[in-house]
Amino acid sequence: MTQPSEGSSKLWGGRFSGETDALVEMFNASIDFDRRLYAEDIEGSIAHAGMLAAQGIISTADRDTVIAGLEAIRAEIDAGTFAFRLDREDIHLNIEAALIERVGDAGRRLHTARSRNDQVATDTRLHTRAACDAIVEALRALRAAFLDLAEREAATAMPGYTHLQRAQPILLAHHLQAYEAMLARDTERFTQARARANVLPLGAGALAGVTYPIDREAVARALGFDGVAENSLDAVSDRDFVVDVHAAAALAMVHLSRFAEEVILWATAEFGFLRLDDRYSTGSSIMPQKKNPDVAELTRGKSARVIGNLVQALTMLKGQPLAYNKDNQEDKESLFDTIDTLLVCLRVTTGMLPTMTFDRERMRAAAFANFALATDIADYLAKKGVPFRDAHEAVGALVARCEREGRTFEDLSLEDYQLAHSSFESDVLAIDLDAALAARDVPGGTAPKRVTEARAAARARLAAETSRPR
């Protein structure tokens, strides 16, 4: 039995005679954060040991000893009784050293035909795969919540905006369903990210492959991977799957942040469109009247760190020569942070949606105030044969006149309209909010019947996704 040489108790200590500097030991260690990979590390080691025995590289007795030892360690970590050690650097060495302490020589055989480089890549991919599944589930729950809220508010009208200026009336449901559409694309991105992550690096060894007759396909099958990484150098150094998650998460957070911004605006006295439930707002310690949209503000604020994490991961990678470099240890904290942040934001937004109440009367009044029906009145003229540019000009002049005189479209008589353009007839007076909404009767438009159809289609898509096996 080979013992580490004197002067070092490290599993890699054979060629060392001096101790690691204390600060370097701390600097080098990742156990404080990568302990989060313990279940994946143990799962990967069990699959590796099973394959080594099946290939006759270790005995079946050693395999059984190793697996029992790993399971005992997993139980200890689950129970919170495992003593993680900083001098054992990372999760891989903590578990391996504990295994050796527990079962001796059999444990010392586990690392045959394996390197920490392909090991950590495997663990991180397993973790990423599970995270993608959790995120997809949370995205689907949020999409369902948006559709439910849209259903509840099916008859609520509101002003649609461009440049944050009232533009044309829309249905609140249409607005909410726009977010469902964004989140459906996010779901697709995480599904694709999962597929790219789900490839096995083990077998690449440190960088060049290993000298044993291993069976990579068997390990891939045991761990639920779709295939094996084709190039050993790429296998140990590739963190594209991490960047995929950051990129998809950053965009999903941008979507959540845009919605959060609308919640914040709509909850102001200035807009007055919505009231937040007590469970989803907080008070001020000095101003007794305040009710703050903290949940939405934090979601908006947290999008910054997720975007930052994407930039961190890209920057960490861009200077690295092939193959593995220790830089890659820096992939984990930001990855965990992005996963945690996105998941909590998705869940808290899902919880908040059904608790929001809208001031439907105020939204309806705002929907046609400020000449929001001007496009409909110009369209009316154009449909009578007036070139649209002329119609636009005539209605523009009418708006200007109303503004000068302190009047709205509702105050105008047929004569007023005819003064603006001779093609106006009495049916112009029938143009109102409901007519304007119903008129946008094109696929993707805000006509109530189209919005209802779109919601049904979104529900069907969601149901099909949920029932389809991966």
Q: Which residues are catalytic?
A: 163, 284
The answer to whether residue 257 forms part of the interface with ligand ARG (CB under 6 A) is no
Q: Which is nearer to ligand ARG, 257 or 328 (CB)?
A: 328
The answer to whether residue 186 forms part of the interface with ligand ARG (CB under 6 A) is no
Q: Which is nearer to ligand ARG, 55 or 329 (CB)?
A: 329
Among 74-82, 112-120, 160-168, 457-465, which window interacts with ligand ARG (CB under 6 A)?
112-120
Choose among 432, 455, 470: nearest CA to 169. Answer: 432
Residues 175, 381: contact at Cβ < 8 Å? no
Q: Which is nearer to ligand ARG, 117 or 299 (CB)?
A: 117
Pairing of strands 357-358, 274-275: antiparallel
Name which position in 46, 49, 58, 120 contacts ligand ARG (CB under 6 A). 120
Name which position in 45, 65, 117, 281 contacts ligand ARG (CB under 6 A). 117
Separation of alpha carbons 329 and 331, rounded Å: 5
199 strand-pairing partners: 227
Q: Which is nearer to ligand ARG, 40 or 180 (CB)?
A: 40
Place of tokens 């941008």: 254
- Least distance (Å) from ligand ARG to the CB of residue 243? 16
Q: Which is nearer to ligand ARG, 326 or 404 (CB)?
A: 326
Total of residues contacting ligand ARG (CB under 6 A) = 9
Residue 157 φ/ψ, nearest 5 degrees: -95, 155
Name which position in 8, 20, 282, 329 contacts ligand ARG (CB under 6 A). 329
Q: How many Å is the Cα radius of gyration of the chain?
A: 31
Separation of alpha carbons 89 and 28, rounded Å: 7
Residues 218, 54: contact at Cβ < 8 Å? yes
The answer to whether residue 30 forms part of the interface with ligand ARG (CB under 6 A) is yes
The answer to whether residue 116 forms part of the interface with ligand ARG (CB under 6 A) is yes
Q: Could you write out the three-class secondary structure of 70-114?
A: HHHHHHHHHHCCCCCCHHHCCHHHHHHHHHHHHHCHHHHHCCCCC
The answer to whether residue 292 forms part of the interface with ligand ARG (CB under 6 A) is no
Binding site for ligand ARG (CB under 6 A): 30, 34, 90, 116-117, 120, 326, 328-329
